[in-house]
Amino acid sequence: MTDALLKIEGLTRSFGAVRALNGLSFEVPRGVVCGFVGANGAGKTTTFSIIGGFLKPQKGSVLLDGVALREYLQSGEQVGILPQDMLFFENRTVGSQLTLFAKLAGFTGSHAQREARHVLAAVGLEEKYRAKPHELSRGMRVRLGIAQALIGDPALVLLDEPLAGLDPRMKKGIKELIVSLKDRTTFLVSSHELAELEEICDYFCIINEGALVRQGAASEILETASCIVYKLVAFDGRLLDELKRAFPQYELYHAAEGVLELTYRSDSGSVASVNEEVLPWLLDRKVSILEVTARQTLEKVYLSITD
């Protein structure tokens, strides 16, 4: 990989008898939104804690811009962090606490206030400078957390579950915000919302049991598995069982009322070859087909490579 902003090599960390990281190595290119994908207990939070400088690995190294993490932070550079459980000073205004964080980051006097207003403008909350956090909606609180992480224009920002607990409209706003900001910083985003990550990420690092299992550009990751979605009329569980027996080479799911999902390996066929087999079978059984769409899903890729 060329121009890697973040380079992780051989991170190992245990907590008692539990091995959280097991020689984890990966790289994140500059100027991307990178999805950091893994199950609960895979080591994502431990990795974030190490990159943020809150936890030391027992083995391994973290390089930012080619500089060891400790030296990078000591030079005055920062890593922005949005933790999953965002905590704010509920009785202080948004502006006053961002000004405080700016001072802790090295800004002085009126420069700290300007930086607070600068990051609020970046996330679309400039009008909330004098509001208190408890007056903000959940989506605005996430934006406030991102603003805090952007103080000092860090080259890397870590976002831990930024979409958790948001309604669809709020999710849309946060996703658009993250994508709009990637020109100024690189994001490493940890989330269980895999379908949401597909929409905003152009790079992925997938880990399992504390080690990397796959990394690469989104186009490379998603081409390893494909999914065809059939929207049907008069399709029931009995027909699904018959279909599974007829085509054991495919994974078939009754995803919702009238929705059949079929997943296949890209090296074993194509959308056209699968449809040549499945569509005549459905039509022979008088199943009315409303729509057929092909898509590739991060969830299917993740499940297949971590099985």
Q: What is the mean pLDDT of residues 236-247?
A: 89
162 pLDDT above the threshold of 90 = yes
Q: Measure the CA angle with vertex 192, ends 188 and 198; round to 5°.
A: 65
Cα-based torsion angle of the residue sequence 148, 150, 151, 155 in order, rounded to the nearest 10 degrees = 150
151 pLDDT above the threshold of 90 = yes
Encoded tokens for 135: 């007056």
Q: Count CB atoms within 10 A of the CB of residue 79.
A: 22
| Residue from 48, 94, 78, 51 nearest 152 by CA | 78
The tens digit of pLDDT for each residue in 258-292 reads 888 898 876 667 888 899 999 999 999 888 999 99
Per DSSP bridges, beta strands 33-37 and 186-190 are: parallel
As to burial, measured by CB atoms within 10 angstroms (0-12 exposed, 13-18 middle, 19+ buried), residue 131 is middle
The tens digit of pLDDT for each residue in 196-209 reads 999 999 999 999 99
Q: What is the mean pLDDT of residues 97-123?
A: 95
225 pLDDT above the threshold of 60 = no
Query: How far is it, in rounded angstroms, from Cα 72 to Cα 156?
Result: 12
Per-residue model confidence (pLDDT) at position 1: 45
Q: How many CA atoms lie within 13 A of 259 on its CB side?
A: 9
Beta strands per DSSP E along 30-153: 33-37, 59-64, 67-68, 79-82
174 pLDDT above the threshold of 90 = yes
Query: How far is it, in rounded angstroms, from Cα 276 to Cα 284?
Result: 13
Q: What is the mean pLDDT of residues 94-101?
A: 96
Lowest-confidence range among 47-56, 108-117, 220-229, 239-248?
Answer: 220-229
Q: What percent of the chain has pLDDT over 90?
A: 70
The tens digit of pLDDT for each residue in 40-71 reads 889 999 999 999 999 999 999 999 999 999 99
